[in-house]
């Protein structure tokens, strides 16, 4: 999947953000037992968008969603970039 695109349907691709790439490609390879969670990625993308556009984000997610990574990774990535 290293093309920077994500397949969203038959013959349909969309760009994948650097933050999403971390969740889909990097974490599964470096964190033992890590599972890709779509809700976690959605939350991370909302946090990323909020940071980039200076907007507030309020998110509620159940136990096991991965909230810590979902806000810390976009924060570190946006501040670094």
Q: pLDDT digits over 6-24, tens only?
A: 555 566 677 888 999 999 9
Q: Are 47 and 72 in contact (CB under 8 A)?
A: no
pTM for this prediction: 0.78
Q: Is pLDDT at 5 greater than 60 in this prediction?
A: no
* Band (32; pLDDT cuts 50, 70, 90): very high
Residues 6+ apart with CB under 8 A from 25: 1, 2
> Per residue in 46-80, pLDDT tens?
999 999 899 999 988 889 889 999 999 999 877 66
């Amino acid at each position: 999947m290293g093309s920077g695109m994500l397949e969203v349907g038959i013959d349909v691709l969309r760009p994948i953000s650097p933050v999403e790439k971390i969740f889909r490609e990097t974490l599964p390879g470096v964190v033992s037992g890590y599972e890709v969670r779509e809700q976690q990625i959605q939350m991370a993308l909302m946090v990323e968008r909020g940071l980039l556009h200076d907007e507030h984000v309020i998110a509620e997610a159940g136990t096991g969603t991965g909230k810590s990574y979902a806000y810390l990774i976009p924060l570190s990535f946006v501040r670094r970039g």
